[in-house]
């Protein structure tokens, strides 16, 4: 559609707690995803996606966190994922950066990488950087940022 590759998903997760009042079992939820890929200028490619889960029967959760593990947790979990990439040297060298933004927790995970591929050989150097609120789902790992190197051969 006008150069965009659009994709979407919709799911319903039905748990054993169909009344929403059993604190030991996760409440049912709806999940959806909407995203697109697009070739931009100078061979740059963008991939952007939004994923969200929405807990159902939230008004049935209890008030005691010992008895219901979903107490004081957000009803929704929304994340935006974006990847920007560019290839060089006849598509043998790719540079890319991926970012995941957790809306409710205001934290993120950023993954820059460079990948070199020649026929069946692939070498990759990447990093992972966590940032944002230290009590968020992603931000809690802020001390665990890393650098990774990998080599693979397919035959």
Q: Could you read off the pLDDT of 26-83 as tens digits, one per residue?
A: 778 899 999 999 998 888 999 999 999 998 877 767 666 666 767 777 788 999 999 9
| CATH number, domain 81-155 | 3.30.1300
- What's this model's pTM, rounded to 2 decimal places? 0.82
Question: pLDDT at position 18, please?
Answer: 74
Q: Provide CATH 3.30.1300 ranges for the chain.
A: 81-155
CA-to-CA distance for 132 and 145, rounded, in angstroms? 13
């Amino acid at each position: 559609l006008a150069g965009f590759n659009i994709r979407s998903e919709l799911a319903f997760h039905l748990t054993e707690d169909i009344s929403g009042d059993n604190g030991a079992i996760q409440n049912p939820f709806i999940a959806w995803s909407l995203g697109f890929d697009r070739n931009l200028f100078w061979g740059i490619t963008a991939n952007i996606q939004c994923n969200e889960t929405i807990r159902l029967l939230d008004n049935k959760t209890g008030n005691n966190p010992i008895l219901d593990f979903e107490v004081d947790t957000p009803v929704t979990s929304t994340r935006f994922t974006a990847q920007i990439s560019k290839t060089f040297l006849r598509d043998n060298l790719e540079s890319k950066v991926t970012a995941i933004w957790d809306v409710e927790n205001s934290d993120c995970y950023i993954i820059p990488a460079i990948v070199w591929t020649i026929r069946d050989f692939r070498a990759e150097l990447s990093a992972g950087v966590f940032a944002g609120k230290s009590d968020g789902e992603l931000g809690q790992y802020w001390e665990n940022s890393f650098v990774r190197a990998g080599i693979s051969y397919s035959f």
